[in-house]
Amino acid sequence: MYKRGQCFYSDFFHEGTRYRKSWGQVSRSVAREKEAFWKREIRNGTYAQRLRRVTFETLAEKYLKDYAAVNKKASTFLRNQNSNKALQPHFGGRMIGAITADLAEQYKRTRLEGGAKPATVNRDIDFLRSTIKKAVEWGYLAYNPLSTVKHLKEDNEKMWVLTEPEEDKLLAECDKCRQPRRYLRELVELALNTGMRLGELQGLKKADVHLRERYITVTGTKTNENRNVPLNNRALEIAGKLLAETPSDYLFCNQYGKKLTVLTNSFWHAVDKAGLSVREENSGGKMKLVRRFRFHDLRHTFGSRLGMGGIETKTIMEIMGHRTYKMAMRYQHPTPGHKLAAVSILNKAPPKVTTGNFSAPENLVNT
């Protein structure tokens, strides 16, 4: 038995099988009593019998109800529910003791062949792995057989950095959208000038906006840590306008004054009209959408513009709420024009070579 943080853990082998379990935040004496009872169950074979009675369907239902609904954000809980729906046809009838790393790999392959994106499959695997991990903590399993299952490689190069002409077209199309014209352009511009995520903007309250000090306090973040985002001139102007005009506690609200929960289709209409989507003709002669500018790319554009402006990575991390340098570097993709400007600083007039009274012609200098 050992202690990590505030929790006690048991870790031992019995007849060639490794057993690991967390006892939570209890005293050492209580943990030892629980461990002794657990070991007796294992030696007598009753523990293995109890394991065989739990199906993945039962485990997932308990995980969602007793853990995810209580400890996770609403958006994450919803994502877990979607992953559970995708996993049930593959694992629903199986006992949790029969779920192996090989079955998880088969699931990944099947989902990819069915057209699912690597990022989607990774979220499903995260949910599967988390439920099995909880099964270990709750005493349903001796160990987590999925701890070695790796993520698929995600293609992050498809993120789109807006050029200034593209930005102008997008904002112009946002202005043309009738519903909901009252906030669509402001929503897009505030994202471009603060780097806030869609969910953070949707949950933004008037009390979070500090015009005098020129910053917004972002709560309910992806990392569960509040942060202050500074306001440039345009963001300050938008925030002041919304504070004066919005009849709700939320800066962006629906027609009933309630918090926005979905992104309006008007945004996608504006994206298409602005030419920010790529379509290709498939084998059947129909045009297929292969790439489209997403709302999250506004955040990507913000971070990339800061990076191209020479702002140090640590400052970008604090503004955007990143925990690691690796994550911050994803949002610093120079545009082709910026990279060309970078190498252009090496341009200089060819030197004039002279030897005595002889001056070499310039067209010979670079040969």
Query: Which of 153-157, 254-258, 295-299, 321-325 has the weakest average pLDDT?
Result: 153-157
pLDDT score recorded for residue 234: 94
**E strands along the chain, which residues?**
2-4, 7-14, 17-24, 209-210, 215-218, 227-230, 277-281, 287-292, 354-355, 358-359
Flag whether pLDDT at 321 surpasses 90: no
Q: Which domains does the chain have, with CATH numbers?
A: 2-51 (no CATH), 56-137 (1.10.150.130), 159-367 (1.10.443.10)
At 348 the three-state DSSP class reads coil
How large is the average pLDDT for residues 73-100? 90
pLDDT digits (tens, 9 = 90+) for 126-179: 999 999 999 888 878 877 889 889 999 876 556 788 999 999 999 999 988 765
Which position has the higher pLDDT, 363 or 171?
171
**259-287 core/surface letters (b: 16 or more CB in 10 A; e: else):** bbeeebebbbebbebbebeeeeeeeeeee
Rounded to the nearest 5 degrees, what angle is found at the Cα of 322, between the Cα atoms of 321 and 326? 165
Q: Quick one: tokens of 109?
A: 């392959």
Rounded to the nearest 5 degrees, what angle is found at the Cα of 20, between the Cα atoms of 130 and 69? 25
Give, for 343, the enclosing helix (H) or strand (E): helix 336-344
Residue whose C-alpha is closest to residue 209's, from 244, 257, 255, 174 = 244
Yes or no: say if 84 and 92 are a contact pair by the CB < 8 Å rule: no
How large is the average pLDDT for residues 71-86? 90
Residue linked to tokens 């993120």:
159
How large is the average pLDDT for residues 182-189? 88
pLDDT score recorded for residue 360: 45
Distant-in-sequence, close-in-space partners of 48: CB < 8 Å, separation ≥ 6:
42, 97
Please state, in angstroms and rounded to a whole number, the distance separating the CA atoms of residues 288 and 297. Answer: 21
Give, for 273, the enclosing helix (H) or strand (E): helix 265-273
Helices 74-91, 101-113: crossing angle, 10 deg rounding: 100
pLDDT digits (tens, 9 = 90+) for 229-250: 999 999 999 999 999 988 889 9
Residue by residue, DSSP assigns 278-339 as: EEEE-TTS-EEEEEE--THHHHHHHHHHHHHTT--HHHHHHHHT-SSHHHHHTT----HHHH
Which position has the higher pLDDT, 322 or 19?
322
Distance of alpha carbon 88 from the chain centroid: 24
What's the chain's average pLDDT?
83
Yes or no: say if 183 and 252 are a contact pair by the CB < 8 Å rule: yes
pLDDT score recorded for residue 180: 52
Give, for 41, the enclosing helix (H) or strand (E): helix 28-44
Flag whether pLDDT at 20 surpasses 90: no
Identity of the amino acid at 224: N
pLDDT score recorded for residue 145: 87
Identity of the amino acid at 347: N
Please state, in angstroms and rounded to a whole number, the distance separating the CA atoms of residues 176 and 270. Answer: 8
Please state, in angstroms and rounded to a whole number, the distance separating the CA atoms of residues 220 and 205. Answer: 11
pLDDT score recorded for residue 292: 86
Residue linked to tokens 């306008």:
241
Residue whose C-alpha is closest to residue 191's, from 232, 155, 244 = 232
